[in-house]
Structure 1
């Protein structure tokens, strides 16, 4: 155990060294947009006063506002809390399987958003603006359900067991007081070092560093009962004593690590703020100079001559003050040489560049009259083009591991109804239905709408052209692309039955109408004959 602890501590130090060369970039991005997230990067953890001082050095909020707009667009476009954004599917599913998968998808979505997911994913997106984030997912042992926790970037060190693969090795150092350590590591099987246990009796508030090491096990048992045999190892070590305190495991990787854009030859990433960083720095310096010259612009500059009466070294200019001088020419206002118009022009240009780089000028709703349907399609298509590549990476590194982990935790907790026997041993796939996923399908919807419009025009001269179109399939493809709920779309077999009933009802109504007409004609004939007999009798 001691040897294992030493090896893990050595691995932690190696991961710290490998990450150190990137930390300054992330810190610079945070210090100009969100200084709170920079705490612990390339320096100690900042307190509230240090964070306040860092915020006071930001003189223009354009980058802050633009990054918030981008973050909000990603959250609302990928994982909205007000609509189901994914469905579980298997190949060749029947109606019974589809029903269970739909119910399970909705139940899993409700459990995700009933937990603290929405709060923690907001912090994750803050980190993503600088490059990457880490989201821990587990079962809430006390209250039940799911539990999410954003691990700050400064406290996470990553690696991958496969070249170019997803991050599956995470080391997280953290600190506990001696008293907290005794409380935390009191389970059966834990082995807290005696020095910490003794310290808790005399100095309970003294802090000690621990590290949770999560990585794939080389040998793991399928369906293991003991946590030490699960596929993903979780080993907590005491860094000072280099001793293993707790050894456990997970069925799935519990930490989801997603990147905006990968750094070559590294497991880490950089974010969109880095692209705008030169403009952000320049704009901040220009606005800083503007504020520095604001006092001169308001109070003015003066030139004074020591004429024997006026002493420029002691004179003070201000309201309701009398300045004694030998001549009115001894003191004159000096016209500042600064040109604020140049600064204003350059500032507007830089602000536009920043918003364009962070996509805020396109993602944010534009002021003005209501857009037409064509304008809406063009705007959605532009958003799809802007966020499409990023959405593809986040879908693979964020959404899929997230749903796999949440499904595994919920399934083992008995959240779902018993599945059909036909689903045993089958792998499910994830069908995304978020606004961004639907936006990627809108090209098909637009193409269908344009095609149907052209066919309608051609049908005015040649109705036979409609025979080329399967209108039922066109309606289904359009509904699917628009994200229409499946509950309001009839399956193909129900459509056939519905049409048969409509046809039978129409035939019955036609026969009844025909019978009524025949009866009316008979009655009319009988009435005419009776009238004729009465006339003849008279």
Structure 2
């Protein structure tokens, strides 16, 4: 028994107790969207078969479709695979340093999407929409190189924070391995005798393990030994109460963003939580509609027990003869159901769910093609809806992701040799994703409106054009639209190009003046010769 292992297990129990009060809420959110993803949040063993029964109880797929649409919008808006969404920049650096940072950013982006990020990232966004948080583990792929990403199931993760800003920096993950997997992962000399015996006799028996990641109180910058790194990592065998691996990380290896923080805790809730009352009411309305639909299709009858007709034995169906004393002994009975009420209620609830989860704005609009003004208004609305969420995700998701990936690549020697001008320089991460650019479209709109107004005023006073720095305005627009840096010339290149143009214009003007002077001289000589010839003819 290891004393540190016992301490870690005890703290994990505390974190489990702190999280338990929220689990029922998350479980309900998953039950009305993606039941299988909520596996482990209850005592019920949830597998594909039992999840199928939960899905069958969902009588309307509006919440599921809206959650999928919002998760896709987050993925494509923040970290698209088809466009670079990050850059490294600094205003005070020369062009060679900026070019190096831009090249490094491109390498990081390419390697992120060359790994399994797109698959794991989408599932992570599904969790943040349903439960309001997720855990994405980032590490180096030691077998094939590059990065590897793991979206840890929420049921396995217990998180907290030691930071003043509340950003998660401590993760305890409880998981299971078979005896065979445990021996292969940690080595026969690290696991307990119980697991060694099971690996020989029952290799598929599962055992509980725990992965603990938290910041160290004392650490060494750029440490080579894992136990001296900034973040500690311990893998614990729970049954044997012993540490099977001690390691560490230079950067926090997990991204744990929250859609909206639960006050006084480290966990979050998602948009499905806000739509949960409507989801429940819609499912209940659908259930009543199905019951009324059954009556409307099969019908309802009233019969009189008159000694000839026994209602308890009568079965209504095609090609059946029912013996009765009279035709009044058995009659159809109106159900009293009004489907219009159900349809109206369903439309209202479906619209409410889509509005809460922003699916009414994110999905393509039916009808004729929108004008440029309509597109701008819609983009502005989406920006207002997702802007606050993007701000939190930038601090809790994108920043840790880029820092971790940049650190791994830098230590692996992937980047080219940095220029000397970058020594001791400060630089920052600049996000150029579609969602980030959408927040900058106000600048583009303002510049476009200013250009139109200046053009109108220039008809009255041409000097008004001098107020606008067109070079800087073009750079601001290009930056907001995400135009690649290699498309825009540097200030030095622009100055050189303009100097060359002025020289060519001056040379052309000088040549024109020389040609004009020659033409005038030739004309004058012709006039002089003509005059002399005229005098000669007159004298003769």
TM-score by length of 1: 0.96
Q: CA deviation at 1:273?
A: 0.4
Rounded Cα–Cα distance in structure 2 between residues aligned with 1:205 and 1:534: 122
Which position in structure 1 is the counterpart of 2:135?
Answer: 134
Which position in structure 2 is the counterpart of 1:478?
Answer: 477
Cα deviation code 1:298-342 (max 9, x no counterpart)? 121111112222221111111222222121111111011121111
Which position in structure 2 is the counterpart of 1:355?
Answer: 354
Which position in structure 1 is the counterpart of 2:384?
Answer: 385
Deviation beyond 6 Å, 4+ runs, structure 1: 528-538
Contact 2:36 2:47 in 1 (8 A): no
Superposition map of 1:18-167 within 5 A? 18-129=18-129, 130-167=131-168
Rounded Cα–Cα distance in structure 1 between residues aligned with 2:424 and 2:142: 28
Residue 439 of structure 2 aligns to a residue whose secondary structure is helix
Rounded Cα–Cα distance in structure 2 between residues aligned with 1:265 and 1:89: 36
Q: Higher mean Cα deviation, 100-109 or 81-90? A: 81-90
Which position in structure 2 is the counterpart of 1:506?
Answer: 505
Rounded Cα–Cα distance in structure 2 between residues aligned with 1:151 and 1:397: 16
Contact 2:94 2:421 in 1 (8 A): no
1:428 has 2:427 as partner:
yes
Q: Higher mean Cα deviation, 359-368 or 108-117? A: 359-368
Q: CA deviation at 1:529?
A: 6.3
Rounded Cα–Cα distance in structure 1 between residues aligned with 2:120 and 2:533: 96
Q: CA deviation at 1:517?
A: 2.9
Q: Higher mean Cα deviation, 449-458 or 13-22? A: 449-458
Rounded Cα–Cα distance in structure 1 between residues aligned with 2:328 and 2:465: 94
Cα deviation code 1:42-67 (max 9, x no counterpart)? 22441110111111010001111111
Give structure 1 stretches of 5+ with no counterpart.
none
Which position in structure 2 is the counterpart of 1:168?
Answer: 169
Rounded Cα–Cα distance in structure 2 between residues aligned with 1:29 and 1:428: 41
Rounded Cα–Cα distance in structure 2 between residues aligned with 1:124 and 1:45: 22
Residue 134 of structure 2 aligns to a residue whose secondary structure is strand
Rounded Cα–Cα distance in structure 2 between residues aligned with 1:288 and 1:249: 53
Which position in structure 2 is the counterpart of 1:335?
Answer: 334
Residue 440 of structure 2 aligns to a residue whose secondary structure is helix
Change in 2 beyond 3 A, CA 1:148/1:186: same
Cα deviation code 1:64-112 (max 9, x no counterpart)? 1111111111111111111111111235111110110011111110000
Q: CA deviation at 1:421?
A: 2.9
Q: CA deviation at 1:483?
A: 1.8
Rounded Cα–Cα distance in structure 2 between residues aligned with 1:428 and 1:471: 27
Rounded Cα–Cα distance in structure 2 between residues aligned with 1:422 and 1:165: 36
Give structure 2 stretches of 5+ with no counterpart.
none
Change in 2 beyond 3 A, CA 1:296/1:44: closer
Cα deviation code 1:331-360 (max 9, x no counterpart)? 111011121111111111111100010011
Which position in structure 2 is the counterpart of 1:200?
Answer: 199
Residue 33 of structure 1 aligns to a residue whose secondary structure is coil
Which position in structure 2 is the counterpart of 1:265?
Answer: 264
Rounded Cα–Cα distance in structure 1 between residues aligned with 2:305 and 2:428: 87
Which position in structure 1 is the counterpart of 2:287?
Answer: 288
Cα deviation code 1:16-65 (max 9, x no counterpart)? 11100000000000010011111000224411101111110100011111
Contact 2:285 2:342 in 1 (8 A): yes
Residue 246 of structure 1 aligns to a residue whose secondary structure is strand
Rounded Cα–Cα distance in structure 1 between residues aligned with 2:518 and 2:498: 30
TM-score by length of 2: 0.96
Q: CA deviation at 1:518?
A: 3.0
Which position in structure 2 is the counterpart of 1:212?
Answer: 211
Change in 2 beyond 3 A, CA 1:91/1:493: closer
Which position in structure 1 is the counterpart of 2:244?
Answer: 245
Q: CA deviation at 1:519?
A: 2.9
Rounded Cα–Cα distance in structure 2 between residues aligned with 1:148 and 1:171: 17
Which position in structure 1 is the counterpart of 2:365?
Answer: 366
1:415 has 2:411 as partner:
no
Q: CA deviation at 1:516?
A: 2.5
Q: CA deviation at 1:464?
A: 2.0
Q: CA deviation at 1:406?
A: 0.3
Which position in structure 2 is the counterpart of 1:224?
Answer: 223
Cα deviation code 1:450-473 (max 9, x no counterpart)? 122112112211222222222222
Q: CA deviation at 1:425?
A: 3.8
- The alignment covers a number of residue pairs equal to 536
Q: Higher mean Cα deviation, 394-403 or 42-51? A: 42-51
1:443 has 2:442 as partner:
yes
Q: CA deviation at 1:157?
A: 0.5
Rounded Cα–Cα distance in structure 1 between residues aligned with 2:47 and 2:94: 58
RMSD, aligned α-carbons: 1.8
Q: CA deviation at 1:164?
A: 4.3
Rounded Cα–Cα distance in structure 1 between residues aligned with 2:424 and 2:253: 22
Residue 258 of structure 1 aligns to a residue whose secondary structure is coil
Rounded Cα–Cα distance in structure 2 between residues aligned with 1:91 and 1:235: 41
Q: CA deviation at 1:501?
A: 1.1
Rounded Cα–Cα distance in structure 2 between residues aligned with 1:221 and 1:463: 64
Q: Higher mean Cα deviation, 470-479 or 18-27? A: 470-479
Contact 2:108 2:405 in 1 (8 A): yes
Q: CA deviation at 1:515?
A: 2.4
Residue 235 of structure 1 aligns to a residue whose secondary structure is strand
Rounded Cα–Cα distance in structure 1 between residues aligned with 2:20 and 2:42: 8
Q: Higher mean Cα deviation, 25-34 or 337-346? A: 337-346
Q: CA deviation at 1:200?
A: 1.4
Which position in structure 1 is the counterpart of 2:516?
Answer: 517
